[in-house]
Structure 1
Amino acid sequence: MKIVLSTLNAKYIHTNLAIRYLKSYSKNYPIELKEYTIKDPLINIVSDLYSGKPDILGFSCYIWNIEETIQVIEMFRKISPDTKIIIGGPEVSYDVPYWLKRLDGKIDYIAVGEGEETFNQLLEHLHGKLTLDEVNGIAYLKEGKVKVHPQTNKINLKELPSPFRFEEDLPHLSKRITYVETSRGCPFQCQFCLSSIEVGVRYFDREAMKEEIRFLMNNGAKIIKFVDRTFNISRSYALEMFDFLIKEHLPGTVFQFEITADIMRPEVIQYLNDHAPTGLFRFEIGVQSTNDETNELVKRKQNFEKLKRTVTMVRDGGKIDQHLDLIAGLPEEDYDSFKKTFNDVFAMKPEELQLGFLKMLRGTGLRINAASHDYVYMDHAPYEILKNNCLSFDDMIRIKHVEDVLEKYWNDHRMDETIHYLTSEVFDTPFDFFQDFGTFWDRQGWARIGHQLEDLFIRLHTFLKTAKPDAVPYTEHLMKKDYLMNQKQKPRKAWWSKPENEDWQKELYGLLTDQPSIAGSAFEQLSLNQKELHKHTVLEKGFNHQYLLAYYPPQGTVMIFEFEYNTSKLKTI
């Protein structure tokens, strides 16, 4: 039989670990992997799958791809009615009767939960080697009735074969994210997360995983992301793996982890600060809320002071970028409480702050008990909430305005000095800046049109002229500096308007050629002649008597010189 396993990833750079484990576990059967993205035209996906004429077709399903996957299945079933279609993954492992009835006549089986052994047994059945009753962990309809075969035992992870050594994957390792898991399960019970349903944590063989990581690096993998729900739940294990990666990493490799910050020991962080190369590690930390009542309601144990200690130590070490997550819409967190949560976390100045909205995932405690907090949410994936007893839909819209500009103006790091100044000196709180600007952005209709880099500066400048006109002169100076600093080459055209008569530039360039010390000793040491000055630098007025001189060398990093110069020789100051 021709067997194909497929999935629709969120982006091309992503890879699906699940279907690779299924293929490696069922090594006695020739299995072809086919990955697409949710942005691909669905008819193209169906055409490509159909061209292989599969007898058995499996799909890995998640909240980000389930609706598109269903459309693919519906089309494929019409043109290939005899193909056995199997679906599995976290999105369809819960509310199984709902999925079987919704997809009646379109799919044949659902693999429920951990799928390696289930899928292999199902292949054995479809090849006539097992009866259907001998297949564990599947669900199907029989004469209109739901039949579910429970799984009997958890897989021994130390015996799972490698999913990383398929020849067809090797040419793509350097271009895509490689996902690795060294454990399954989570010790915590957060009621908004599917991981809370699985009891206990199981580990893969440590030495075998180290060998897999060596293999991946030697074959070009550049971004390796560990999908362990809490990588540092065991201090000794985390320290051993960190030490291994520090000592054996190859240049250019980046490792990403999901960690629980409030259980991270200071000595572990100090070890990383002392020994990890800059940029080798990236931490993803779920804060979600700093409201103690909210955390208690979702059974989330969190010591915010210890979390803050960890984030601060890591940030001060300067070695590891941090991505912190918030969730809007958790129980009993109203608009003002979420504002406090946002400000609490933004104060730590993480490299990235992700503002997400609660999704009522199937199988989670929050979804089961949604009525107790008057949750109203989307019927279809991603099941995002629309309102609850504490947050109105108007509140949700306002917070979405914050999310939009936060992504563009903080997470993308296009104007760090500017945003730091505005959030600390101009607006009452960071949240107030992002909220006011986000609402202004939406009212201008900018959310519905595209933008270039220059547009982001122009739009912020437009907002400040309305909201904080007194802050415009100095903020404009910082915006110019940020803009020039983040250009890889000398910009052809700046975002700010310039007067027609710019004789002052010619005169100041002459002074910089004859007396380079006026811009400081560092600039003087460059020993640029007049031709090099005009070719590789940008000279702009800053604030009051400040000038900005951006030097773009043929090779290397741009240098910004900020200096004061007030002389009667210049007609314009």
Structure 2
Amino acid sequence: MIVLATLNARHAHAHLGLRCLLANLGDLRAKAVLVEGTINDDLMRMAERILAPHPRIVGLSVSIWNRTPTLRLIRLLRAADSTMTIILGGPEPTYASSEDPLAQAADTIIGGEADIAFAEACRKVIAGERLPRRIDAVKPDLASTALPFDEYDDRDLATRLISVEATRGCAYSCEFCLSSLDRGVRGYSLDLVLAGLDRLIARGCRTFRFVDRTFNLDPRRCRAIIEFFLERWPKNAAGERIGSHDPLAGGPESGAFFLHFEMVPDRLIPPLVELLPLFPEGGVQLEIGIQSLDETVNDRISRHQVADKAIANLRWLRERTGCHLHVDLIVGLPGEGLAGFCAGFDRLYPACMDPGGGRAADLQVGILKLLPGTPLVRHREAFSMVFDPDPPYEVLATRDLDFTTLLRLKRLARWVELTANSHRFDRALAAVVDTAPSPSAAFLALADDLSARFNREYAIAEQELYVAMAEHLRSRGLDPLPPLVEDFLASHPGIGTRRKGVPQFLVEPIAMRLDPRRAGAGRDLTNVAF
């Protein structure tokens, strides 16, 4: 028996890579099972699930997110059954040295794309052959490689984000990214991709997360996939495409799809211009990696991007389409200090926001990671870059950002996520930004204040956060009630006169806002206590 297993970051993530291995096992497929858990699961129970079918071979996928618990899991499996063959794959083992604990724990590591190599290794084990400690997989010919779409079961389709791919590799060479090691882009047969997507739709799948690194690279392939979904999108009685849904908040509404694509920001090709405006609000999510707007920094890390064009395209997408946009910036790139990062943030923030209170993009601030195998390591000495030795290998300090400043920016990233990207405080944040010297200054002050107040950036109740936001606004000389009342009502539609869940200091102001007769009673709420 063959068990393929992994620990995902969340249950909602269905592992695409392991399903690629399953799809290409050929005659061994009937002897293989998939076991998925999460990094928060009880590892003893996970080991029990893996051992239940008495496997002869266990294949484990290892990433920066599950490396530590996977090592513990391997020790449990070895203790319970020392006769099985354990094969590791994924980005962590691929770039592991022979002294790495992963290499020491495994019988064999398969480096690279193991679609075909894993099946070959299994056949050798079953035939009694001894595997080498390391196998460097030859990149499979995608034209003759089976697609994994049929490996998703009905429970996956009902409750999880379904990852799919039409291409592999990347045309770009950004040095912080593992895709930079994949020279060129290879594609599956487009006809087979579309046929596989059609089968998933027929089985009820409505959420599709395309993991292609540059979806908008090939206009022909891009157009074909977009048109495929537009043709199948459900419509209402008026012939309008039905709005989409949050893929993780309870399932599809009226059969509408949710599509996720990653795109290069300065390449707005004709199929996108023509077809993206045809999707209903929220039906498409675009992951847009800006990373930095400093062209010197981008050139240094081999990232080729026209900043002005990227900003213009972002504005066009926000203003002319109903797509939900996730826009990424990175902290800690070589040669970019606090002033440089803030300049990029200040330039990007207005392009993400709608001053009229309409649709805004999510501005995601990430921390640079030194992923094993990436060329970023060449800048380590010249820019005095210090990285955490443990996963996810985040930068701790650079020549241009000391440890304290980097932690300050890491806290900023978290508070941007909790406040701006939650869209619970759009009006309050607009007031804060309008009265600050710059957007970055506003968010740095907010992050400093909230971090000092809570001494944490996680597990913060909504009511606590509303109180903290009110006190922050008041400390800036602003009246917190008008924006926070409107923000609360906007993010809690249908709240009416119910008090449950309403922060205590907002109960009366909301009642007055909803009932004009109470508003005219003349009560002064200027100095209301929080």
**TM-score under structure 1 normalisation?**
0.81
- How far apart are the structure 2 equivalents of 1:411 and 1:571? 36
Contact 2:63 / 2:92 at 8 angstroms: preserved in 1? yes
Structure 1 distance, partners of 2:265, 2:7, is 32
Counterparts of 1:15-34 in structure 2, within 5 Å, are 15-29=14-28, 30-34=31-35
Instruction: Determine if contact 2:103/2:109 at 8 Å carries over to the other structure.
Output: no
Contact kept, 8 Å, 1:235 with 1:264, in 2: the verdict is no
Partner Cα distance (2:328, 2:506) in 1: 41
1:197 to 2:181 alignment: yes
Structure 1 position 155, deviation (Å): 1.4
Structure 1 position 442 matched with structure 2 position 451: yes
**Residue 557 (structure 1) aligns with:** none
- Please tell me whether residue 356 in structure 1 is matched to residue 366 in structure 2: yes
**Superposed CA offset, 1:522-550 (max 9, x none):** xxxxxxxxxxxxxxxx532xxxxxxx227
Residue number in structure 2 paired with 1:458: 467
- On the 8 A contact 1:343/1:429 being kept in 2, the answer is yes
- Structure-to-structure mapping, 1:488-567, within 5 angstroms: 488=493, 489-490=495-496, 491-493=498-500, 494-497=502-505, 539-540=511-512, 548-549=513-514
CA drift at 1:572: 4.3
Q: 2:283 aligns with which of 280, 283, 291?
A: 280
The DSSP-based 3-state class of the residue aligned with 1:302 is: coil
- Displacement, 1:20? 0.8
CA distance in 2, matches of 1:174, 1:203: 28
Q: Any unmatched runs of 5+ in structure 1?
A: 141-147, 506-537, 541-547, 551-562
Aligned-pair CA distance for 1:149 = 4.6
Q: Deviations over 1:294-353 (max 9, x none)?
A: 101000000011111211111112411100111100010001111111112111125211
Separation of aligned partners in 2, 1:124 and 1:498: 66
Aligned residue number for residue 515 of structure 1: none
Distance 1:268 1:203 in 2: 18
Give yes or no for the alignment of 1:433 onto 2:433. no
Question: Residue type matched to 1:228 in 2?
Answer: D
Question: What's the counterpart of residue 342 of structure 2?
Answer: 339
- SS at 1:373 equivalent: coil
> Match of 1:189, SS?
coil
Aligned to 2:67: 66
Going from structure 1 to structure 2, the CA distance change for 1:445 and 1:319 (only over 3 Å counts) comes to closer
- What per-residue deviation string (whole Å, max 9, x for no partner) do you get for residues 44-74 of structure 1? 2122222232111010111111111111001
Query: Which residues of 2 match residues 126-525 of structure 1 at below 5 A?
Result: 126-128=125-127, 140=133, 148-151=134-137, 153-166=138-151, 169-250=153-234, 251-265=255-269, 267-349=270-352, 350-423=360-433, 425-447=434-456, 450-466=459-475, 468-469=476-477, 471=478, 473=479, 475-488=480-493, 489-490=495-496, 491-493=498-500, 494-497=502-505
Q: Which letter maps to 1:539?
A: A
Higher normalized contact order (CA 8 Å, seq sep 6+, divided by chain length): 2
Instruction: Report the alpha carbon displacement of residue 150 of structure 1 after superposing the two structures with TM.
Output: 4.1
One-letter code aligned to 1:352: D
Amino acid at match of 1:231: F
Q: After TM superposition, where is structure 1 displaced by more than 6 Å over at least 4 residues in a row?
A: 563-567
* Superposed displacement of residue 455, structure 1: 1.6
Q: How many residues align?
A: 492
Report if the CA contact (8 A) 1:88-1:115 is conserved.
yes
TM-score normalised to the size of structure 2? 0.88
Q: CA deviation at 1:485?
A: 2.3
Residues 386 and 393 in structure 1, CA contact (< 8 A), matched pair in contact too:
yes
Q: How many angstroms apart in 1 are the aligned matches of 2:517 and 2:113? A: 66
Equivalent AA in structure 2 for residue 285 of structure 1? I
- 1:486 to 1:128, Cα distance in 2 relative to 1, 3 A: same
Give the Cα separation in 2 of the matches to 1:217 and 1:445: 45
2:38 aligns to what?
37
Deviation at 1:498, TM superposition (A): 7.4
Question: What's the CA shift for 1:288?
Answer: 0.5
By how many angstroms is 1:484 displaced? 1.8
> C-alpha distance in 2, partners of 1:234/1:387?
38
Contact 1:246 1:277 (C-alpha < 8 Å) held by counterparts = no
Q: Aligned equivalents of 1:25 and 1:450: distance in 2? A: 42
SS in 2 for 1:261: coil
Residue pair 1:333, 1:390 contacting (<8 A) in 2 also? yes
Q: Which amino acid aligns with 1:461?
A: A
Q: Is the 8 A contact 1:38 1:65 kept in 2?
A: yes
Distance in 2 separating the partners of 1:436 and 1:302: 30
SS at match of 1:497: helix
Measured in 1, the distance between the counterparts of 2:474 and 2:280 equals 43
Q: Deviations over 1:506-529 (max 9, x none)?
A: xxxxxxxxxxxxxxxxxxxxxxxx
Quote how far apart the aligned CAs of 1:448 are: 6.3
Residue 19 of structure 1, CA deviation: 0.8
Secondary structure of 1:241's aligned partner = helix
* 419 and 485 in structure 1: CA distance in 2 versus 1, 3 angstrom threshold: same
Q: 1:464 to 1:312 in 2, by over 3 A?
A: same
**Which one has a bigger Cα radius of gyration?**
1
